[in-house]
Structure 1
């Protein structure tokens, strides 16, 4: 095994553990967001309900409904099917309520990047 590959794989493992650990620690925050949404609109979107019951594999998709409005403009391709009231509500939430989502997806992006760089390095070496 190549030294660089071993380092990349070790970083990937550490990053994966950190990412899923952070996500597990923030489960209560996700439940709080769902409660606020349910109080305001009386229901949760179907996709979010399905993702919540998806277990480990849907750890990140369950928060996408709240995350995407924080990073894209209204009417963008990624939020084109979201109701305008939902988008505005999520954008109006205080940073203390939604800031952890950006950290969670930053960690997820870092983990995914390490995985692909490890695969590419192994493939081309």
Structure 2
């Protein structure tokens, strides 16, 4: 199992430069918009959201910009494993919520623990497995 990225939620995009780039010395890898349909299915937040993908050495952060303080954020940990279906088949019988979103390229899979922590599960052999 490998840690792919940690996702955080912040209110103000200005923090990307002021904190993550200037203080933590991270580099911007890419930006994208998580559309409100996917945001609702995965996180229960119906809002188009700007996302910055940042890197420093082997650490990757996916930072979601909300523009306001939200009760529910986009925070999650992304893991890659050899066979993600194994995790789903172990989690579902134990009543852990598994969210599968069908897509043309590959399905998105998220598993939630009983405390509400969200884990995105990717396969280590998948190509271009970015949201």
For Structure 1 versus Structure 2, the TM-score category normalised by the shorter chain is under 0.3
- Tell me which of the two structures has the higher relative contact order, counting C-alpha pairs closer than 8 angstroms and 6 or more residues apart: 1
- Structure having the higher helix fraction is 1
Computing the radius of gyration over CA atoms, which structure comes out larger, 1 or 2?
1
TM-score by length of 2: 0.26
TM-score by length of 1: 0.26
